[in-house]
Amino acid sequence: MDVPILTLDGPSGAGKGTVSRLIAKQLGWNYLDSGAIYRALALEITEKKILQDNISEIVKVALAMDLHFECGDDRLVKLNGKDVTNLLGLENTGNIASKIATISEVRAALLQKQRDFKQSSGLVADGRDMGTIVFPDAKYKVFLTASALTRAERRYKQLKQKGIDANLLKITADIQERDQRDSERQFAPLVPAVDAVYIDSSTMSIQSVVAEVLSLVH
């Protein structure tokens, strides 16, 4: 099955999620939010009180978890039947996800779950290693980034809009720490695929990023 796949990799806060969703909608392709899979696993092990170094238990949970994504106007993610959409977005969930994502056995356990998102119409895959490891043969590959300060400011605005108390310096430091862990890990680190188109969205609007990515596909 020759399915068209567009991979969008990059650090957190570069706008991958928004851009990927808009593109998937416009093209009528399926959408894979791979970060949400790592985040769901982070939630599961936290709830089950499994320690982050208990690799065999984390792998068991990874293989057993039942994840369901609904991509209507409002995004909905169900984990073992329970709506976890809001919990997935918490900073702490992302930090735990980034830590367990350094474990090669965990990455291997989640590989098939991600590849199962391939559907005949097409797929937009958003993550860190979509173009390098999960879909190395993808036809279209993009590496979307933005400066750490730009990403922190976007996150800060999002939190403020939701009425959540936020500190820009702390968010910037967290983002830099997460970037470093994601980029320097031994297995499937965050690096652009050699054949990826590099886009720095620091001074671009979402619409212009979407237009640039779509121009690759058309």
Interface with ligand DC by CB under 6 A: which residues? 12, 34-35, 38-39, 94, 97-98, 101, 127-129, 178, 182
Q: Which is nearer to ligand DC, 74 or 218 (CB)?
A: 74
Q: How far is the CB of 97 from ligand DC (least distance, A)?
A: 4
Q: Is 133 helix (H, G, I), strand (E, B) or coil?
A: helix
Q: How far is the CB of 16 from ligand DC (least distance, A)?
A: 7
Q: How far is the CB of 218 from ligand DC (least distance, A)?
A: 26
Q: Which is nearer to ligand DC, 14 or 210 (CB)?
A: 14
Q: Which is nearer to ligand DC, 39 or 118 (CB)?
A: 39
Please give the residue whose beta carbon sits closest to ligand DC in the complex.
35
Q: Give me the helices (H) in 85-205, please.
A: 85-88, 91-100, 104-115, 148-161, 168-184
Q: What gap in Å lies between CA 9 and CA 32, rounded to an integer?
A: 12
Measure Cα distances from 122 to 7, 70, 98 in Å: 11, 17, 27
Q: Which is nearer to ligand DC, 2 or 53 (CB)?
A: 53
Strand order in the sheet with 82-83: 67-71, 75-79, 82-83
85: tokens are: 């959409």
Q: How far is the CB of 91 from ligand DC (least distance, A)?
A: 10
**8 A C-beta contact, residue 124 and residue 30:** yes
